[in-house]
Structure 1
Amino acid sequence: MHVLLVTSGSTGDVAPFTGLGVRLRQAGHEVTVATHERFTGLIRSCGLGFRRLPLDPLDMHEACARKLPGRADGPLGTLTIAKQGTVYAADLAHGILQAARQGADVLVASGQTALPAKAVADGLGIPSLGALLQPVAPTGAFAPMALGRRSAGRLGNRFLSGALWRAFHRQAASTVQWVRAELGLPPLNRTARRRLAADWPIWYGFSPHVVPRPADWPPEHRLSGYWWPEEPTGWKPDPRLTDFLAAGPPPVFIGFGSMPSPRSGQLSDVCAEALRRAGVRGVVQAGWSGLEARGDDILAVGEVSHQWLFPRTAAVVHHGGGGTTAAGLRAGVPAVPVPVFYDQPFWATRLRALGVAPGVLPMADVTAERLASLIVRAVREPAWRARATGIRSALSTEDGTDPVIKAVEALPR
């Protein structure tokens, strides 16, 4: 069976599908990943087929960052991101249609590609399911993922998350109608649009040990556990990094992943000063923020395997992206989340609630003093690492890919 995995976004949105894809291939299936050209090497190095989706996620994130308000970790930031996303929707839908037309027996779609991909799959008669990395279905169990960290209570959470869910579907409606027109299908009426994904099976690629499944979710929405990224064939750490790690105590990692920063020089200085004040060594990853922090006890690095590096650190300071959050939990190390927008405040809050982070420091509030204070607590107070170790043990017993593979194989064809 030929499985087409469709995903869009940053590395954290794409890398989990290398793990899922490799496991599907090991189960005897042909696997192709449709995503941005930037990730061609990553996908092919894992032995998976590649089909190109348009756009460069770095350009998309930079365009979004230019439009974001000063404080992006709340509703206004989410609204800005949603508006910017509509600019790219038609291009992505066209790319998904082109990828699917090249052939597939089953389509598995993630994130912002999910509803357009389902419309494509329905139009071409391809069985499909959703594979999401954030908890977006309406629930009263926690604050809506895209509206920041503050709960509105069970009823308020349910109302707000329901409104966001409906708004998401309305936003995708024009793209879905375009897909159907391109395939020569009649447009959907309002009732049909509302039910587009009503009975669609959706699997969430995170652990119930991190986010318990809400009791008020529909039965089609299930948690599988994490889909751990596959290590690219032949990857080895830079000798400079291994030498640095061997030369002293475990360092603190600082990296903000796919978050572009218009003030990268200032942010680099803040990070270097925070490490100095905390009295710890540091590994600072440039990422899309372009961090360049340097010092006697600081090593600047580029691309690096979080799976390999994080277990060798004393703590990880990061933006709270879902992929980096998962990597830190898998490593069993304390975290200092510095969220910027969208799902990052949600994951940052989860880290705090799980007891593996001494606090949450929004990017808009970052100073060297505040960052240093949280780093000191994360490194020197044993409780944070003890709780992180417990979660690592729980995650090690899970195989998040297994239920998804079984669901793919059970789809009617």
Structure 2
Amino acid sequence: MAGRWIETWEPEDETFWREKGERVARRNLWFSVLSEHIGFSIWTLWSVMVLFMGPEYGIDPAGKFFLISTATLVGALVRVPYTFAVARFGGRNWTVFSAVSLLVPTLAAFWVMEPGTSYATFVAVAALTGIGGGNFASSMTNINAFFPLRRKGWALGLNAGGGNIGVPVVQLVGLLVIGTLGASHPRIVLGVYIPLIVLAAVCAALYMDNLRPVKNDTGAALEAVRDPHTWIMAALYIGTFGSFIGYSFAFGLVLQTQFGRTPLQAASLTFIGPLLGSLIRPVGGRLADRYGGARITLATFAAMAAATGVVIHASGNASLPVFLTGFTALFVLTGLGNGSTYKMIPGIFHAKALARGLDADAAAAHGRRLSGAAMGLIGAVGALGGLAINLAFRQSFQAAGTGTAAFWSFLAFYGVCFTLTWAVYLRRPAPVPTRAQLGYAEV
């Protein structure tokens, strides 16, 4: 694709930003959100499809958890190449291509979604939906380049939150179909998304731009891989986004398997948590902009540990109302943490550049360079947390018939994330420039 290319882009220049940059960046943000939203819906499609798979499909709960785990795994792995595709092909061009690509898993699922299809075929089609998870990485990398550092928390939070809403939306579509027509019409859900995918691709082609200054930087990628902060942030992102996507995939199955909910009952509850978690993600970015990402992240992990304790108590006592309360709180907290952790990434690399003695402009450029390279890796590793959650549920239900053991393991990991955040970013913070110098709250 030739595409539309912007040759010069200087978002840190306040005059450029005020006269031209903000308008262009916001336009690209809105249509990036649309494409990423559809991508998330397709990625999490099998969290809905398994609700339609009654006894006539011959697949037990462990088999269903494996289906959604397959989609999670592929979605995590493709995030790395999707990150680098933005610089190689252009943000607009890649958004068009990645949107059109979503037709492949959607049409494949439309073709095979009926009793009698082999389990291996279902696994293969579930794997195809994983490409929807890659849209997040390319979208975040692209939008990161459009906005100045002082606006990244808000912009990345809004971009990610709008994309994350694709999870509850596809679940709501599934609820509508099950509630009106019953659990024997999964193809209607798929039919709804085919024209929406085309719409997202057309809008990206018409209204988005490519940035010529954004280039793949092998040196930056290698430097980001070697930087311990990349891996620390990846671990924290496992705790926030990994939890969000893992719970989104598994929630309906947990309700059906552990609490005996029907497909309609499960579908009527599964969308609430992902919806709230998605809506609050920009708030996490805003709070991080104001108070510092590490502080918000630390508080989030403490609260997630407490909410997990509530879920463990409810799971052990088979109390559905308390379980739903604790689980919904977990979704909300993962959304806050998603926004604050992603805000930390550019702030960390920018602060390190300033500590090395670079002037403001050079530090901003260095921060953008390394944070853009790190985001794809962090996003991929974080998404693998969703795979771990689904595999933990699968093992827990196979061994004990409940998810209690899995929740204990999640509680332990949130304790590790809390300790890591405090020890690295808050216990003895390195000297950093003042908020006035940076234009945003410290990391």
Q: Same fold (TM over 0.5)?
A: no
Report the TM-score, using the length of structure 2 for normalisation.
0.30
Q: 1 or 2, which has the higher helix percentage?
A: 2
- Of structures 1 and 2, the one scoring higher in RCO (CA 8 A, sep 6+) is 2
Q: 1 or 2, which has the higher strand percentage?
A: 1
